[in-house]
Amino acid sequence: MKQHFLWLLIIMIITPFTIFSQNKLPGIVIKLTDDHHPEPLAGANIQWLHDAATGAVTNESGIAVLPLSGPLPQKAVISYVGYIADTILITGTDTLELHLHPDMQLSEVHVTAKKQSNFISSLSSAKTEKITDHELKKAACCNLSESFQTNASIDVSYQDAVSGAKEIKLLGLSGLYVQNLLEGMPFLRGLTTTFGLDNLPSPWIKTISVSKGIPSVKNSYEGLSGSLNIDLKSSINDTQRLYIDFFANQNGRIENNLIINHKINPKLGMVLMTNGAFTPVKQDMNHDGFLDQPVAKQYNLLHRWDYRGEKAEGQYAVKVLSENRIAGESGEMQHSDMPHPKYTIGIRTKRVEAFAKTGFFLKKNDASIGTQFSGVYHLQNAHYGVQQYHGEQGSFSGNILYQTNIRSEQHQLVAGTNFMYDHMDEALDSIHLRYKDFIPGLFAEYTYRPTPKITVVGAFRGDYHTRAGWQFSPRVHARFVLDKYDRTTLRIAGGRGFRAPNILTENQALFASSRQIVVQQQPMVEAGWNYGISLQQKFELGGREGSVTVDFFRTDFTRQSVTDIDLSNGQAVIAPLEGKSFSNSLLMEFNYEAVKGLDVKLAYRLEDVRTTYHGTLLRKAMLPMHKGLLALSYRTPNQQWQFDMNTHLFGKRRRPNSFAGDEGSRYTPRYVLLNAQITKYFKRAEIFLGAENITNYKPKDLILGMPYSAYFDTYQVYAPAMGASVYGGVRVFIQ
């Protein structure tokens, strides 16, 4: 199987396929930059010469969509403070890349603009939050798992107290129900779901898009609670020719990255990214006899090529990973009367993946055709004490899409087909599971925009899954701007989603405990309905902008794979859902520039998640019902210093009733995590110094019982085992 998938990857890379630009919108798409620098100009006004009432404003990427106002050709006027206004003749609907010249007569006037590092997309029909690379620098963010410290919607939590496994939670549900994408292609699937969040370095990331609610049908059949799409740095979206960083903390963690960005010509460029992450020091700060973090060694390498021409564009990349991690007891076995050796966990991972994307732009009806192909080979061998685990995965996905306007820009259609193949081979001692899943699918998405203030998207897809059979997924999204100043936006969404569970790898966090895993009946499919509403109100107070956002989402499962750890006999029983299972998620968020340069984010989230376990409807274990977030970020007027702080308040969590004599309602305590960082900016470098868990909160009883005993349990982790930690680093770059 290994050779089979390596050949697929080679064929895929040398074949120029993949996805078209899915972000094209009706009207004239205009990208505006400075004439002397490639930086985008945000906030520039563009309007028709003959119809000044019809216009647009460039967003943070310097892009604006100018609605048509009569037949072409027509003249448009572009204006921006500090730049010479320009009048251009627009003859067609192709994307225009324009440059403005600075007004030299204003050389004594200092014009500054603030670029948002975290914002909600105003054009998306779904509630989509954009996290940029500037936002990622506000905390100790070395990989994807640490990229959401200032985000109120997503949590990243440890799955157990020993191995270091982490998972995303969105709307109170596991990341398994999120449509995880890497530049529009399936990501974090199968064997990589347990440790994959640590395997993508954050300095490689340009933007992260977090969408809540049922996702689009265009990318894959997966996803129920939302989508997470990661865009990496490329020669197109990043201007730094060389980037080097170094990170270290007091716990012995060391990371470094090297990024080389070479623009071969205006149309073609390549990027080489390398990463090394090491944790060589053994530490037990809470003195429970176990390592607080695994001793780990990880290497990452990615090489990509990007092409952007007038009629076609493409991106092609190969990524390889090697990781070894060792966890378990920190010292010699204290109980010599026990027949077993010191309890350790060893996990060895090898992974190679590649993608190829190509899009072709057609003149008729502003249409485009695109394809995307990706492939993965993943090998993982591990031991959890005396248990042996082996996992091998080969996956391939392909997507072909066609996008066109129907008669006018008010009506847009995207239709296509995709195919996914997964070969999974897993073994845990005597349990051996093997899947060969073929999943062909068809989809269509229709977008209706009668006015710039109304967008309605209706979508449908049908898939045949080898294990799940035929599955049909209707979905709808709608966006309404309720006022003439574009300050009040209402969004609604609803639809159905499904996935096929891989019950062993998705429950690896249980391998570290003494629970006996019992597969009572192997679930073939998980399915449910998600629906929600979001309201955003922007305002201006004291000459500074702010926003208030409230959203509510509910998920109802019709079929689900349930892992029951609330049994007093110490078993973990995996079986299909019998009864109700639902999630209610409410988020209220306030953002405001309190004084010039000081951004304030205040959020409160309530999540009520319940599932039926052995005939009883219980609240989801180890999930806080309440969470609060306060994030402050201040940058000095001279732009040379930045101060960031984020405070997380976690409510109580229900502990599972795991073993005999442990029945009844038990809850973890409330606690606060406080993080802070100072950054000094230079012309070609940045130096940062920070601290995590400043309150030095150390949870008790993260690990219950002794290794190999009937009551050994590492699953009840609710907070980081490490106490207060100081870190620092440096970033050096050449534009």
Sign of CA dihedral 327, 333, 334, 337: positive
Best CA proximity match to 525, nearest among 480, 473, 568, 475: 473
Percentage of residues of the chain with pLDDT beyond 70: 90
CB-based contacts of 330, cutoff 8 Å, min separation 6: 282, 283, 284, 289, 290, 291
Q: Is a pLDDT exceeding 50 seen at residue 19?
A: no
User: Cα–Cα distance between 433 and 504 in angstroms, integer?
Assistant: 8
Q: What own/partner pairs with CB < 8 Å and gap ≥ 24 does 98-102 have?
A: 98/30, 98/31, 98/32, 98/33, 99/32, 99/33, 99/34, 99/35, 100/32, 100/33, 100/34, 100/35, 100/41, 100/44, 101/35, 102/34, 102/35, 102/36
- 352, two tokens: 């190679």
CA-to-CA distance for 391 and 389, rounded, in angstroms?
Answer: 7
- Highest mean pLDDT, choosing among 13-22, 88-97, 317-326, 333-342: 317-326
Tell me, what's the pLDDT at 664?
54
Q: According to the model, what pLDDT value does residue 17 have?
A: 37
Asked if residue 176 lies in contact with residue 206, where contact means CB atoms within 8 angstroms, the answer is: no
Burial label, 730 (beta-carbon count in 10 A; 0-12, 13-18, 19+) = middle
Asked if residue 227 lies in contact with residue 177, where contact means CB atoms within 8 angstroms, the answer is no
Output the CA torsion 187→191→195→201 (10° steps).
-40
- Burial class of residue 371 (count of CB atoms within 10 Å of its CB; 0-12, 13-18, 19+): buried
pLDDT for position 375: 96
Is residue 13 scored above 50 in pLDDT?
no
The whole-number pLDDT of residue 38 equals: 66
- Neighbour tally for 205: CB within 10 Å: 20
Q: Residues 405-454: pLDDT tens digits?
A: 998 888 999 999 999 999 999 999 888 989 899 999 999 999 999 998 99
Least Cα distance to 327 among 288, 296, 297 occurs for 296
Helix (H) / strand (E) element for 133: namely helix 133-136
The pair of three-digit structure tokens given for residue 716, joined into one six-digit string: 């009840």
Candidate from 230-239, 282-291, 321-330, 533-542 with smallest mean pLDDT: 282-291
The Cβ of residue 248 has, within 10 Å, a number of other Cβ atoms equal to 16
| In the predicted structure, residue 277 carries a pLDDT above the cut 60 | yes
Least confident of 46-50, 384-388, 602-606, 720-724: 46-50
Name every residue whose Cβ is closer than 8 Å to that of residue 519 and which is 6 or more positions away in sequence.
Answer: 431, 503, 574, 575
Confidence of residue 87 (pLDDT cuts 50, 70, 90): confident
Q: pLDDT band for 530, please (50, 70, 90 cuts).
A: very high
Provide the pLDDT confidence category of residue 8 given band limits of 50, 70 and 90: very low
Q: Does the pLDDT at position 164 exceed 80? A: yes
SS3 114: coil
End-to-end Cα, the chain, rounded Å: 44
What is the DSSP secondary-structure string of 228-266? Answer: EEEEE--TTT---SEEEEEEEETTS-EEEEEEEEEEEET
Residue 112 pLDDT: 46
Q: Does 378 have pLDDT greater than 90?
A: yes
Nearest 10 degrees: Cα torsion 573, 577, 579, 582: 110
715 Cβ contact list (under 8 Å, min separation 6): 159, 160, 161, 509, 510, 512, 513, 515, 565, 622, 656, 658
Query: Which amino acid does the sequence have at 88?
Result: I
Kindly give, in sequence order, each residue whose CB lies less than 8 Å from that of residue 436, ignoring residues fewer than 6 positions away. Answer: 421, 422, 423, 466
Report CA Rg, the chain. 26
Q: Which residues are paired to 130 by β-bridges? A: 119, 209
pLDDT of residue 73: 78
Each residue's pLDDT tens digit, 484-529: 888 999 999 999 999 999 988 998 888 888 888 888 888 889 999 9
pLDDT tens per residue, range 316-363:
999 999 999 999 988 744 444 556 678 999 999 999 999 999 999 887
Contact 434, 464 (CB under 8 A): no
Burial (CB count <10 Å: 0-12, 13-18, 19+), residue 543: exposed
Residue 133's Cβ-side half-sphere holds a number of Cα atoms within 13 Å equal to 15
pLDDT band, very low/low/confident/very high, at 109 (cuts 50, 70, 90): very low
Q: Which of 26-30, 141-145, 270-274, 689-693 has the lowest mean pLDDT?
A: 26-30
Structure tokens at 534: 């979001």
E strand segments, 193-340: 205-212, 226-232, 242-249, 254-265, 268-279, 295-308, 312-328
* Rounded average pLDDT over 711-722: 85
The span from the CA of 237 to the CA of 234, in Å, is 6
DSSP state of 194: T
Cis-peptide, bond into residue 73, ω within 30° of zero? yes
pLDDT of residue 25 exceeding 60, the answer is no
| CA gap 722, 406 in Å, rounded | 57
**In this predicted model, what pLDDT tens digit does every residue of 37-56 receive, in sequence order?**
667 887 787 887 766 657 77
Per residue in 166-192, pLDDT (tens digit) is: 999 999 999 999 999 999 999 999 999
Q: Domains in the chain, please, with CATH?
A: 2-17+123-734 (2.40.170.20), 28-106 (2.60.40.1120)
As a whole number of angstroms, the distance between CA 438 and CA 423 comes to 9
Residues 6+ apart with CB under 8 A from 531: 213, 214, 492, 493, 494, 495, 553, 554
pLDDT of the residue at 44: 80
The pLDDT assigned to 103 comes to 56
**Mean pLDDT, the chain, whole residue set:** 87
pLDDT of 114: 57
For residue 15, pLDDT over 70 is answered with no
Which amino acid belongs to residue 562? Answer: V
pLDDT exceeds 50 at position 217: yes
- The mean per-residue pLDDT over the stretch 371-398 comes to 95
